[in-house]
Structure 1
Amino acid sequence: MRLKNRGYAGKILYLDLSSGEKRIEELSEKPAYNLLGGKGLGALILYNQLKAHTNPLSKENLLIFATGPLTGTIAPGSGKFAVITKSPATGTFLDSYSGGNFGVFLKYAGFDALVIKGKAKVPSILIIDNDKIELREAKHLWGKLTFDTNKVLEKEVGREFSPVVIGPAGERLSPISGILCGTRIAGRGGGGGVMGSKLLKAICVKGTGGIKVHNQEEFQKYVQVALRSLRMSSAIERLKQMGTVSILEFIQSSGALPTRNFQRGEFKEAEKLYGESWKKEAWEKDKACPFCPISCSKITSIKEGPYKGAKLDGPDYETIFGLGTNCGVSDKQAIIEANYLCDLYGVDTISCGGIIGFIIELKEKGIISKHDLDGLEVKWGAQKALVRLTEKICQGEGVGKVLEQGVRALSKRYPQGRSFAMEVKGLELPAYHPQAAKGTALAYALSERGACHLRGAPLGELLGAADPLTIEGKAELFKTKQADLAVIDSSVHCYFTDFGMTLKEVFQMIVPATGFNYQEPKDLAEVGERISTLCRLFNLREGLRSTDDTLPERCLKEPLPSGPAQGEVVELKPMLLEYYKLMGWDEQGIPKSEQIKKLHLNELIPGLK
């Protein structure tokens, strides 16, 4: 049965930039039923069509933009899209997400996914105007900042198109570069570098076809149920009022706010960064992605002082951690300016902040000097140094060429700092201290894209759902959350709806949207488990092993000095072994053949046993 008018456009667009060849394939029901779309579909395409051990920055790597059955519908939070590729930062599976119109327009143009390989002969842009596809030379855009590129595209291509663009960091193939859609970014893991390696500056999409679902009346009924759940959620209300910074105060009180390169879990000047102060001093207005009832984004600008003119979407909580507490900085204007620079050049703020925090500690311990940093005198809380280092990283200027390679590369250059290199699998840690939240610690160790709080970290443990300091039950808690979030990433809609909805509400929307005969929410949980196992198989094929499921030495051996988690380290191995067992994997973290068959992955991947 065809998928068109069942929450899907029903087609996948393949484009080879080297040859100019394009083809359109029908999306069949089997992969859609088993993997939904988004992350799941992208993982299947990547596994089946990318040769093992492909260089992420070679023309052979695939760059996939994918939607799901909820994208572009009236389902809350459905204005999202997924970017899937092999990461230049980690060498592993990468999925990263952004809000904005791009995914909606791609689907309305008739495509559930866009799969790009090869390399253009010259810097180019790809234009998709419903069923018309054009690769256009764009040498004049190469080198431009992201926001400037968007202005030119608006004039040359048209306001009715939604573009995704890379900045100069992506052009340099930086492993910390992202892909921007307006003011939002698919930031983690170096997707911008993959796009830059293909000499692709931008993709502009216009779609006017809309999307239909299988049972419109039933779908609308359960969308209203989901919206009611969101309206009743106090967490959603806080996101509406304060955005993601609303959680900073609570994370601080839990002792889980990473400070000074994760040396501590509390920041002495945290009050200067609480939500009310941002609302009073910096925010101009709210902004929402398509089909979003939350409007978590806050538009911020600087109207006076040395950073006058900076205007951006944010900073969000992760950025305030990365460019703020992790570097000992509490000055809002400095954080805004550093965030603005990252957006202009297309750089991931979490990784940028992780790099700077690591560099400051290297300097603090006498491992490097200011002469290694182009004469910059860096220290905790030095706001001018923060901005200048961010600028160097974003521009790849001077020492910035070295720094932008990431914390793992820097720890190889300066092995004396290896014990406090805060990365997993090559990806810098996000904004929750793993020693103060043991389920989150497990998530960091196991996430297929490297340290990540959005691949199953049970953040509810910090909100009272479980004792954050115990390891008991955390493997099962993570497994459940990982499956739920894999469904969200594959359906494709926003994580933040998860603060007010459960898998039941997602199930109630997906069934009438697609017509798939899932009988109960646990059937969707199995879809999520299938997707996580597929991503694990990809990483195993690329050479990762259970020894890569680990944390920085600091988290395992260096007790937190103060706060609610004082004295805590992470006892990781018991949680890992329990998780492997729950997933049907062996003690080396390899999925057993009977589990592969149970999840029907052998039917989706030729030759898999």
Structure 2
Amino acid sequence: EPLGPENVFMVLTGPFGGTMVPCSSKHLIVTKSPATGGWLETYSSGLISSELKFAGYDGLLVTGKANHPVYLVIENDRVEFRDATHLWGQGAFAAETYIKESFHPDCGTLSIGPAGENLIKFANVGSEYFRKAGRGGAGAVMGSKNLKLIAIKGNGGVNCHDIQGLYNLIQKHYEKFGQSPVGSARHKYGTPLTLNITHEAGMLPTRNFSRGQFKRAIGKIDKDGVASLTVADRACNACFIACSKRTRVKEGVFKGLDLEGPEYETLAMFGSNLEVDYLPAIMKANRLCDDLGMDTISAGAIIGFAMECFERGILTEKETGGLKLTFGNYDAALRLLELMAHKKDFGAFCAQGVKEMAKSLGQGTEDFAMHSKGMEMPAYDPRAGWGACITYAVTPRGACHRRAWPPSKEVLGDAYPFTTEGKAEIVRDLMEENCVMHCLIVCDMVGKFIPLSTDDFAEYLNVVTGWHYAGEDLINRARAIETLIRRINIRDGLGAKEDSLPKRILEESHLEGPTEGIKIGTENFLKMREEYYLLRGWDKDGVPTQETIAKFGLDEGAVISL
């Protein structure tokens, strides 16, 4: 069970951890997802990866359950569990501040807030205050183990096979980044620039994904809106892109509120998806989620679903405890966030996620409960680019935009968005490229916006390790990995039936904008999905064939045992 003591909570580094390879300060958390019951990988940045390496470890695995709240301190070869009773119930920010003041100011940290303690299915794991491994409920897994906090400090170093070769590659790609218009735009605006792109394409989730554009967003909660409140840029370790924006509210009821962000997904899910065009309110929601320890994507999707149910009369103020959950009412949304994190009143119902909410409510609500496999959909409406249909459906952790990002081809590239043709192949190729980056544990930004190719990553791997990989070798490993994870999910009951999308996405069309009147259709979706399965060497039901299993050497059961 995801929340049982036998579940393994893994914190992993990659071969570049602790080095100067661009954008290599990411860490990876792998566990079984409370949201889906299947495979979960979730990524974030901060000091954890480098400090794990400096302490002499490639990863950390936690099993079991403490008898009372604890936190874990690792300092080189010293590993110690300490009592965290005094931290239980506090926000993630207070926990991180405590450990940096009591242990070491430069330690790497992982922490949960009340949402993780209360086993919320979309609880996140925080690091460096505003960096979050957000998706799939990894924070609830920490909470189920009574583990409030992890702090790591190392005094060692990492070896690099060819340090001069590494310097040469970094200089080469720094110069390439300086010549990249897309890279320069991402440095200037960060991810909020994406809102302008998705709005223009009719891909911006609005009013619980019932529309694809939100005109009031432009100039208020988009790249320019965020830029107007930006006070500083921030880069992760070993990064020259510096896409993160530190913002501060200048006036009004939220005056003085500051945070790192909001990123695009938060702007869309708490902005357009709720029909909120007041940036300080979105910033407040962002900060609340970061401190309470909740994924902003799922939280925004849940509130959007609740608002639609309220406006349809399926929910009333009697059920919501007096909350008037109309679209645009950010005061009610902010109050609901607190209730969700603490599983109080109507918040306890919402804390189940949209899949279980719809199951309880019935009355056709399943049609507009925006999720796949139980994980809420991120901020790209697939009706504006059909490749996202396949991405959301087949990615192993549920509705996910990070395994593949088809808008790079369908919106920013030359692939026609409203067709089934070639989409399975596009998604497969993008997924394999991203799988390489995610296995090396580098940020997506470096691959997309410098940009770097798989061959470039192979060069970095070779100069760091002394190995002799080509880009195609990494792609072949990615193919094996996708099949391995697929087998894990099938073992856990997630197959073709769960590779699905809500009726709103497949059978409804937008009433205005670039996607007006365009419907995907279930038949087209199933065609693309089957094509993807077959390209992977799986059968038409999404089960890897024996030939594919043997090809990748995955025919021993112990290989996929968790």
Q: What's the TM-score, normalizing by structure 1? A: 0.88
CA distance in 2, matches of 1:465, 1:117: 47
1:473 to 2:422 alignment? yes
CA distance in 1, matches of 2:76, 2:41: 25
Counterpart in the other structure of 1:241: 188
Structure 1 position 278, deviation (Å): 1.7
1:186 pairs with 2:133? yes
| Number of the residue aligned with 2:323 | 376
Contiguous gaps of at least 5 residues in structure 1: 1-54
Mark the CA change 1:258 to 1:304 in structure 2 (over 3 Å): closer, same or farther: same
1:168 matches 2:114? yes
Query: What residue in structure 2 maps to residue 584 of structure 1?
Result: 537
Q: Which runs of no fewer than 5 residues in structure 2 stay unpaired? A: none
Q: Secondary structure at the match of 1:463?
A: coil
Of residues 512, 521, 529, the one that matches 2:471 is 521
Alpha-carbon distance in 1 for matches of 2:255, 2:473? 52
Q: CA deviation at 1:583?
A: 0.6
> 2:390 is matched by which residue type in structure 1?
L
Instruction: Name the CA distance, whole Å, in 2 between partners of 1:425 and 1:365.
Output: 25
What do the CA deviations read for 1:279-309 (whole angstroms, capped 9, x no partner)? 11x2111111111111111112234432234
Q: Judge conservation of contact 2:52–2:152 (CA < 8 Å) in 1.
A: yes
1:66/1:81 contact within 8 Å kept: yes
Residue 386 of structure 1, CA deviation: 2.1
Aligned counterpart, 2:362: 415
- Give runs of aligned pairs for residues 546-557 of structure 1, distance below 5 A: 546-557=496-507
1:99 counterpart = 2:49? no
**Conservation of the 8 A alpha-carbon contact between 1:229 and 1:501:** no
- Which amino acid counterpart does residue 596 of structure 1 have in structure 2? I
Q: What's the CA shift for 1:157?
A: 1.3
Name the stretch that deviates more: 466-475 or 211-220: 211-220
What displacement does 1:534 show? 1.2
- Offset from partner CA, 1:4-56 (integer Å, 9 cap, x none): xxxxxxxxxxxxxxxxxxxxxxxxxxxxxxxxxxxxxxxxxxxxxxxxxxx10
Residue of structure 2 aligned with 1:485, choices 434, 442, 454: 434
Larger mean Cα displacement after TM superposition, 88-97 or 305-314: 305-314
Equivalent-residue separation in structure 2 for 1:503 and 1:466 (angstroms): 21
The question of 1:559 aligning with 2:524 is answered no
Q: CA deviation at 1:241?
A: 0.5
Partner of residue 525, structure 2: 572
Post-superposition Cα deviations, 1:528-564, rounded to whole Å, max 9, x if no partner, equal 1111111111100001121111111111111121111
Q: Which of 59, 74, 77 lines up with 1:113 in the alignment?
A: 59
What letter matches 1:277 in structure 2?
G
Code of the residue aligned with 1:255 in structure 2: it is G
Cα separation, partners in 2 of 1:150 and 1:303, compared to 1, 3 Å: farther
C-alpha deviation, 1:269, in angstroms = 0.7
Q: In the aligned structure 1, how far is the partner of 2:58 from the partner of 2:207?
A: 43
Alignment partner of 1:212 out of 146, 156, 159: 159
Q: How many equivalent pairs are there?
A: 552
1:63 aligned partner, one-letter code = F
**In the alignment, does 2:458 pair up with 1:507?**
yes
Cα distance in structure 1, aligned partners of 2:183 and 2:559: 43
Deviation at 1:603, TM superposition (A): 6.1
Tell me which residue corresponds to 2:394: 446
For the residues of structure 1 that align with 2:293 and 2:201, how far apart are their CA atoms? Answer: 32
Is contact 1:87–1:94 with CA below 8 Å preserved after alignment?
Answer: yes
What residue in structure 2 maps to residue 84 of structure 1? 30
Report the equivalent of 1:6.
Answer: none
Structure 2 counterpart of 1:433: 381
CA distance in 2, matches of 1:268, 1:379: 19
Paired with 1:373 and 1:554, the residues of 2 have a C-alpha distance of 24
| Equivalence for 2:403 | 455
C-alpha separation in 1, matches of 2:467 and 2:414? 32
Q: Supply the distance in 1 between the matched residues of 2:183 and 2:348 (Cα, whole angstroms).
A: 40
What does residue range 8-47 of structure 1 map to in structure 2 within 5 Å? none
Task: Report whether the alignment pairs 1:72 with 2:18.
Answer: yes
- CA–CA distance in 1 between the matches of 2:538 and 2:333? 44
Sequence identity of aligned pairs in percent?
Answer: 39
Structure 1 residues 485-535: Cα deviation after superposition (integer angstroms, max 9, x where no partner):
1111110110111222221211211122223332x3111111111111111
1:263 aligns with 2:210: yes
Residue 83 of structure 2 is matched in structure 1 by: 137
1:82 CA drift (Å): 0.3
* Counterpart-to-counterpart distance in 2, 1:427 and 1:232: 38
Per-residue CA deviation, residues 173-202 of structure 1 (Å, 9 max, x unaligned), is: 110100000120001100000000000000
Letter in 2 for 1:90: T
Partner of 1:534: 484
SS of equivalent residue, structure 1 residue 149:
helix
Distance 1:116 1:150 in 2: 19
Question: Which residue matches 2:239?
Answer: 292
Kept after mapping to 1: 8 A contact 2:118/2:341: no
**2:4 is matched with which residue?**
58
Work out the CA distance in 2 between the residues paired with 1:305 and 1:393: 26
Distance 1:603 1:491, change over 3 A: farther
Aligned AA for 1:393?
Answer: M
Is contact 1:334–1:386 with CA below 8 Å preserved after alignment? no
Provide closer, same or farther for how the CA distance between residues 289 and 604 of structure 1 changes in structure 2, counting only shifts above 3 A.
Answer: farther
Residue 459 of structure 1, CA deviation: 2.3
Among candidates 227, 230, 238, match of residue 279 of structure 1 = 227
Output the CA distance in 1 between the equivalents of 2:441 and 2:55.
17
- What whole-Å deviation, never above 9, does each CA across 1:118-137 have from its counterpart, x for those lacking one? 01121111001011111111
Gap change, CA 1:309 and 1:77, over 3 Å in 2 = same
1:326/1:606 Cα in 2 relative to 1: closer, same or farther (>3 Å)? Answer: closer
Name the CA distance, whole Å, in 2 between partners of 1:403 and 1:376: 13
CA contact (8 A) 2:91 2:291 kept: yes
Partner-residue secondary structure (3-state), 2:411: helix
**For 1:265 and 1:160, how far apart are their aligned partners in 2?**
43
Deviation at 1:379, TM superposition (A): 1.0
Counterpart of 1:159 in 2: which secondary structure? coil
SS in 1 for 2:86: helix
Partner of residue 123, structure 1? 69
Return the letter of the residue paired with 1:423.
H
- Distance (Å, rounded) in 1 between the aligned partners of 2:359 and 2:489: 22
Corresponding position of 2:547: 594
- Please, what is the CA RMSD of the aligned residues? 1.5
Deviation, 1:106, is 0.7
**Matched AA of 2:552:** L
| SS of residue paired to 1:564 | coil
Q: Take 1:481 and 1:419, find their aligned partners in 2: how far apart are those partners?
A: 29
- Counterpart of 2:170 (choices 209, 216, 223) is 223
